[in-house]
Amino acid sequence: MDSNLKRLLKRNYLGVAYLPIHGKGYLVRTKGNKKDYIIVNENLSDEETEKVILHEIGHYEHDKEVLGSYKHNLRSRAISEHEANKFMIHQEIKSYINQGYDAININYVNLADSLGTKDYFQVKEELEKYCE
């Protein structure tokens, strides 16, 4: 796990548990002063695990801003998922740029595909922040 991911988990007081689950991952909120946890499918690659953790941190940081019930309101769920994906995309692109990649020369469609998202506009928009 890279240092940025560790920093984000620590900042949000989140733990990570790797379990044999059917999906890729989810966020478990606890009551009181206990740590909330991100549960990750133990069979994912390191790369996919990082994306799942970032996505779930995005939920943790942004779901409180979404009105309505994630479970019972499709619009609320769509907004919540978009914000979590947007967070993951932002963090992954920041990581690419910090590794020395040139934002101007990155093919945003290929990058979006490698991130596992079809939100090409969001990837392009995030890359443009580094082209100014």
pLDDT 10s digits, 55-66: 999 999 998 877
What type of residue sits at position 5?
A: L
Range of the domain at 111: 3-128
Neighbours of 9 (CB within 10 A): 19
- Taking the model in full, what pTM does it have? 0.90
Q: Is 5 left (phi over 0), alpha (psi -120 to 50) or beta?
A: alpha
Count the alpha carbons within 13 Å of 131 in the hemisphere toward its beta carbon. 11
Structural domain total, the chain? 1
To which H or E segment does residue 115 belong? helix 108-115
- 22-37 average pLDDT score: 94
Average pLDDT over residues 1-5: 88
Span 65-101, pLDDT tens digits: 777 878 888 889 899 999 999 999 999 999 999 999 8
